[in-house]
Amino acid sequence: MQNTQPPANNPTADSLHKKLENLTNHYFTHVVAIQGLTEEIHKLKNKNGSLRTYIDNSFKAWNAERADLNMKLHFYQRNCSMIANDAAENLRKRDNQPADYEDTSSSSGTVAPQLSHFGSSSQSRLSFLLEPSRPNANRSFLIKTEPLDVPETQPTVPEAIREEVIRDESEDTENRPPPITTMKDAIEFCSKNNVELGELTGLNLKPFLFNPFIANGPPQVVINSRNPYCFYMNQIKGSENPVQWSALSHSEQESWANKWRKMKCIQGKQAWHGLIKFELSKKRKRSSGNNMSF
């Protein structure tokens, strides 16, 4: 009788079918995993491309900003150097040239009695306020006899502070150059007349001088700081626990007076060329009739 049973070591069709099914399932499981990894790789490539683009754009923007800042730095260095040289030359000429004040007051004199009660110490302190700020011996000076307009932090100006007013050079119409009216010409003028700020470095000069980095073209309206006291009060405005002018020592007040004179020298040159103009307050216009010339 023939034996129809398969050998013990030979797999049956069912076992082969199950094994094939398991291998097929295992294959498709790996296919799905590979597809998932492929999608993840694609996402990472897109993210990497976006990061590279962002880094490249940021680097280009940083380079552009650095180039712009370097250009501005070079511009200010040249501008400050020229103004400092002009200021030093003007101060040297002023020191070597005697001031010829125009005496338009009465013979009896009304200024001396007001200054006499301050004593010699106060008079020496006043002396640096009464010096001419520009080397023009034919220009007259005015002394204000009533308190000036000051910030609300201190409603009254100290009695020892009086106003030094320099007549506008625009009165000399024959020698005045044509005013600068375009921003391009203004920037070119500033680049050719740069000066070193020196002791003015770190101070807020935007309210007083021409600013080439704003849209307003010349002439720009600026503050006409009338004496060292007002200039100092403008600098400490908004500070926490500021030191008032009366608390400064005599040497500190003279230091601020020198800073004010240097700023006024730059301011006067810019006003002379039409870069800036001063806007007088109503109170100042009303009180201008009480000034005395000497």
Segment 224-233 shows an average pLDDT of 92
Asked if 167 and 173 count as a contact pair (C-beta separation under 8 A), the reply is: no
Segment 32-59 shows an average pLDDT of 89
3-state secondary structure of 8: coil
DSSP single-letter state for residue 171:
G
Looking at residue 116, what is its pLDDT?
A: 39
| Predicted structure pTM score | 0.42
Tokens of 267: 């301011």
Element (H, E) at 43: helix 13-96
| CA pair distance 154, 276, nearest whole angstrom | 28
Element (H, E) at 256: helix 250-272
Looking at residue 195, what is its pLDDT?
A: 67
Looking at residue 105, what is its pLDDT?
A: 39
Tokens of 221: 């309206």
| CA pair distance 29, 186, nearest whole angstrom | 75
13-96 helix and 183-192 helix, angle to the nearest 10 degrees: 70
Give 231's pLDDT tier (boundaries 50, 70, 90).
very high
